[in-house]
Structure 1
Amino acid sequence: MAKFTPPPLDGLKRRIDRHRLEKAGARSGMFVRETFLMSRQEAREKAREWFAEFPKAAYWTEVESWRQLDNDRIEFTMRRLPTAD
């Protein structure tokens, strides 16, 4: 019985990588999201900037997710609507 040899996956891997790069530049859903990695104090200041520039009542601004990393670093994602219409 012949042993099955899978086809090379280089083309598929390149296409997947290209798709991920294209998708990374596009907006997912109706929200604008931005992820930051900062010290705890810088993270607080950045969140305050977002809430000052894009008020929660108009833009639905919120800290979508966050996690604490080593050395008191915070990774967090801010989310808001693109306009206040």
Structure 2
Amino acid sequence: MARIPGPPLEGLRRQIHRRRQEKPASGTGHFIRETFQLDRAAARIKAREWFDTWPKAAYWTEVESWRQLDGDQIEFTMRRLPSAD
């Protein structure tokens, strides 16, 4: 049985190289992160604002991490993509 050759990859290699030259990868990734320290009620409101402004389906918005501090304080980090491209 004859093997069908795959497509040439030189064009893809050039495109990847050009993209990396224009915008080198950073250690933090492509997400925008913001950390908040609010009381429980305000934390829920702030998270809802993020999900309303940047919908999860388009921006991959999520609560990346959270922890409860003394009292009713919550520290949490929201994460999203910079655009919905």
The normalised TM-score by structure 2 is 0.68
What is the SS of the residue equivalent to 1:28? coil
Once the two structures are aligned, what percentage of the paired residues are identical? 72
Unaligned runs of 5+ in 2: 1-25
The answer to whether structure 1 residue 33 and structure 2 residue 25 are counterparts is no
The answer to whether structure 1 residue 64 and structure 2 residue 64 are counterparts is yes
The normalised TM-score by structure 1 is 0.68
Unaligned runs of 5+ in 1: 1-25
What is the SS of the residue equivalent to 1:71? coil
More helix by share: 1
Aligned length, in residue pairs:
60
CA RMSD of aligned residues (A): 1.4
Partners of 2:34 and 2:56 in 1: how far apart? 16
Encode CA deviations 1:51-84: one digit per residue, 9 max, x unaligned: 0000000000000000000011000000000000
Displaced runs of 4 or more, over 6 A: none
